[in-house]
Structure 1
Amino acid sequence: MEQAEAAHVCGWKVGQLAELTAVTVRTLRHYDQTGLLRPAGQTAGGHRLYNRENVRRLYRILALRRLRFSLAEIRSFLDNPEWDLASMVARHTEEIDRDIAAASRLSAHLRAIDAEITRSGDAPPDTLFLIMEEMTMLDTPIRSTTTLVVYDDLAPAHAYLTETFGLTAGSLTHDADGRVVHGELYAGDQSIWLHPAGNDYSSPQDLGGVSRMIVIAVDDADAHHAYAEEHGADVLGPPVDQPYGVREYGARDLEGHLWYFHSPLESSSS
Structure 2
Amino acid sequence: MGNGTRKLKVGELARRSGLSIRSLRYYDQIGLLKPSGRSEGGHRLYEDADVRRLYRICLLRRAGLALEEIARALDDPTWDLANAMRTHLNLLDRRQAVRAQLRRRLAAMVARLAADTAPATEEFLDTMEEMTMLESPVQRRIGILVYEDIPAAHAHLVRVFGLGEGRLHYADDGTCVHGEVDAGDGVIWLHRVAPEHGLASPASLGAATGTTAIMVDDVDSHHRHAVSEGADIAYPPTDMPYGYREYGARDPEGGLWSFMAPLD
Alignment partner for residue 231 of structure 1, among 225, 229, 232?
A: 229
Give the equivalent residue in structure 1 for 2:210: 212
Task: Provide the identity percentage.
Answer: 40
Alignment partner for residue 255 of structure 2, among 248, 254, 257?
A: 257
TM-score (norm 2): 0.53
Distance 1:193 1:245 in 2: 28
Give the root-mean-square deviation of aligned CA atoms.
Answer: 4.2
Structure 1 residue runs of 5 or longer lacking an equivalent are 1-12, 19-24, 36-60, 79-87, 109-133
Distance 1:143 1:162 in 2: 26
Contact 1:171 1:185 (8 Å CA) reproduced: yes
Aligned residues: 174
Change (3 A) 1:187 1:75: closer
TM-score (norm 1): 0.52
Give the equivalent residue in structure 2 for 1:240: 238
Aligned AA (1:236): A
Distance 2:80 2:104 in 1: 24
Is 1:145 aligned to residue 141 of structure 2? yes
Distance 1:75 1:152 in 2: 30
Contact 1:171 1:184 (8 Å CA) reproduced: yes
Distance 2:15 2:219 in 1: 46
Change (3 A) 1:75 1:106: farther
Does the residue aligned with 1:236 lie in a helix, a strand or coil? strand
Distance 2:249 2:15 in 1: 48
Change (3 A) 1:251 1:72: farther
Change (3 A) 1:247 1:151: same
- Any idea what the Cα deviations from partners look like across 1:27-54, whole Å, max 9, x if unmatched? xx99xx899xxxxxxxxxxxxxxxxxxx
Give the equivalent residue in structure 1 for 2:126: none
Alignment partner for residue 173 of structure 2, among 177, 181, 186?
A: 177
- Any idea what the Cα deviations from partners look like across 1:94-139, whole Å, max 9, x if unmatched? x94xxx7x9534579xxxxxxxxxxxxxxxxxxxxxxxxx999547
- Any idea what the Cα deviations from partners look like across 1:143-164, whole Å, max 9, x if unmatched? 2211111111111110000000
Query: Where has structure 1 moved over 6 Å in runs of 4 or more?
Result: none
Change (3 A) 1:234 1:107: farther
Does the residue aligned with 2:157 lie in a helix, a strand or coil? helix
Distance 1:227 1:157 in 2: 17
Contact 2:165 2:180 (8 Å CA) reproduced: yes
Distance 1:173 1:182 in 2: 5
Deviation at 1:246, TM superposition (A): 1.0
Structure 2 residue runs of 5 or longer lacking an equivalent are 1-13, 34-58, 64-78, 106-129
